[in-house]
Amino acid sequence: MKHPILEASGLCLAYESPEGTQTQIGPLDFTLHEGESLGLIGESGAGKSTVGYEILGLLRYKGGRRVGGHLDFRGISHEDAAFIPQDPLSALDPLFSIGSQMRELGASGAKIEEVLRKVRLPLEKMSLKSYPHELSGGMRQRLVIAMALLRSPKLLIADEPTSSLDPLLQYQMMELFRELHREGMTFIFVTHQLALAASFCERLIVMHRGKVAEQGTPDQIFRSPRHPVTQQLVQSVPVMKV
Ligand code: ADP
């Protein structure tokens, strides 16, 4: 068994609105192991992204905070985690060339070349002088993954990374994640798509209204979902009739 690199125990996160109401997420208990791909699934508003932000150390910049419990890193820290957002344009500055944005992150030319090759965006196909709007949606998403890899992270938190892509690009992106995972990358894969998470993750955590409704392997979740929300998620997976 791989060793745990992240443990949440009784973790409670919250946002306060100007009107004084509070959205509370948690208490949450879960463990992430080295090299694992863990799926965080659940309906919109369940609290998945909030958990991701806290792991990245970004929650306070998003207006939230930790109000209880623990999140313990073992052998890694916030800095070892990188984020892949749903919308690549939100992560790229439209006013600067791709090359300048990558160099801004302190990367050497050799490292830039290495990560672009990894995501199948070799320099023969794409100029570093290009601007984000000059790339296709699929290329932009690959570029954001390459930028996440520049810091040689140990953990990738991918938040709905394929939601804005067509099915073929979605498949290609998942193949890229599988390759990174085979090479030892640890993943937290945030999605509302149970089938997609099940095809990639070794373990799934189903969140519902800020709490962990259920966790288990994809097999356990599909064969015997216990929580009503998991049962609905399983039922909502399309079945192909041929
Ligand atoms: P998910 O990723 O599962 O869609 P989120 O983590 O984005 O869910 O949101 C969880 C809850 O926190 C939701 O009720 C959402 O409205 C609330 N929330 C998210 N971001 C903020 C914020 N910046 N300020 C106040 N409430 C927020």
Q: DSSP labels for 2-43?
A: PPEEEEEEEEEEEEE-TTS-EEEEEEEEEEEETT-EEEEE-S
Is the beta carbon of 47 within 6 A of some atom in ligand 1?
yes
pLDDT given at position 1: 60
Of 21, 22, 41, 49, which is best to mutate to test ligand 1, by the most ligand atoms within 8 angstroms of its C-beta? 49
Average pLDDT of the residues in 64-72: 96
What is the rounded distance in angstroms from the CA atom of residue 179 to the CA atom of residue 175? 6
Of 11, 13, 50, which is best to mutate to test ligand 1, by the most ligand atoms within 8 angstroms of its C-beta? 50
Among 28-32, 50-54, 133-137, 181-185, name the one with the lowest average pLDDT: 133-137
What is the rounded distance in angstroms from the CA atom of residue 98 to the CA atom of residue 85? 17
- DSSP assignment, residue 86? S
Backbone angles phi, psi at 68, to 5 degrees: 180, 165
For helices 137-149 and 109-118, the axis angle rounded to 10 degrees is 130
- Which protein residue's CA is at the shortest distance from atom 19 of ligand 1? 50
Average pLDDT across the chain, whole number: 94
Please state, in angstroms and as integers, the Cα–Cα distance from residue 6 to each residue in 11, 31, 83, 187, 239, following that order.
12, 6, 16, 12, 35
Q: Read out DSSP for 205-237?
A: EEEETTEEEEEE-HHHHHH---SHHHHHHHHTS
Q: Are strands 186-191 and 22-33 parallel, antiparallel or unpaired?
A: unpaired
Is the beta carbon of 192 within 6 A of some atom in ligand 1?
no
- Check: CB of residue 65 under 8 Å from CB of residue 59: yes
Q: Which atom of ligand 1 is nearest to the CA of 44?
A: 4
What is the rounded distance in angstroms from the CA atom of residue 81 to the CA atom of residue 60? 16
Q: Which domains does the chain have, with CATH numbers?
A: 1-76+188-235 (3.40.50.300)
Q: Which atom of ligand 1 is nearest to the CA of 50?
A: 6
Is the beta carbon of 136 within 6 A of some atom in ligand 1?
no
pLDDT given at position 164: 79
Average pLDDT of the residues in 38-51: 96
Q: Which atom of ligand 1 is nearest to the CA of 51?
A: 6
Name the pLDDT band for 89 (thresholds 50, 70, 90): confident
Is the beta carbon of 48 within 6 A of some atom in ligand 1?
yes
pLDDT given at position 158: 97
Residue 164, exposed/middle/buried by CB under 10 A (0-12, 13-18, 19+)? middle
pLDDT given at position 20: 81
pLDDT at 3 over 70: yes
Is the beta carbon of 62 within 6 A of some atom in ligand 1?
yes
pLDDT tens digits along 181-212: 999 999 999 999 999 999 999 999 999 999 99
pLDDT at 232 over 70: yes
pLDDT given at position 220: 97
pLDDT tens digits along 115-151: 999 998 888 888 999 999 999 888 999 999 999 999 9
Please state, in angstroms and as integers, the Cα–Cα distance from residue 133 to each residue in 31, 160, 164, 218, 235, following that order.
39, 21, 16, 38, 39
Name the pTM for this structure: 0.94
CA of 192 to the centre of ligand 1 (A): 14
Is the beta carbon of 40 within 6 A of some atom in ligand 1?
no
Is the beta carbon of 21 within 6 A of some atom in ligand 1?
no
CA of 15 to the centre of ligand 1 (A): 8
What is the rounded distance in angstroms from the CA atom of residue 78 to the CA atom of residue 58? 9
Average pLDDT of the residues in 4-10: 97
- Check: CB of residue 134 under 8 Å from CB of residue 96: no
Residue corresponding to tokens 């140990």: 154
